[in-house]
Structure 1
């Protein structure tokens, strides 16, 4: 039973990462790297501040990674990715709009 599981797992990994390897897979992996890097960035910013913070660059990485993953979903015809990243990217854009609006409200008024 363990031998069969090992063979099946090996075949699966080979199929996913070797047989289906193309430039779109590389693009999809890059998208996940960009998207995942936002958490490292947020962690570093929080450690420096000594409290939990979300820098503006977190949202830009979210948008970039989300759009890249959305493109990958369209190319691969993956409805779960298309739906998830489409909605998420709209939320990221809305957060940026709210931050920009808040910052403009705090800016000193010109005489």
Structure 2
């Protein structure tokens, strides 16, 4: 999953999208993918978001960290929720923002 760099558009005006970002900010991080061989997560660091890619088996602790925009965070979380909800249709067949917020706040994530 590719994410745009952190210099893209930020601060969504949609109140539901802001609420999603608030939930994620309180959590501090959100796992996009992971298993014994790799992981990818979004981490809120003060005033910005980062994407962290790593290998849990690597003893050196090497991680690739890049800054991403809030819009990219929302897109990545929506894609993850889409997968977890079992929506496997065309790319435009995705959950709307209220469904994403409900999924995050219902403890299913």
TM-score norm. by structure 2 comes to 0.25
Tell me which protein shows more helix as a share of its residues. Answer: 1
Tell me which protein shows more strand as a share of its residues. Answer: 2
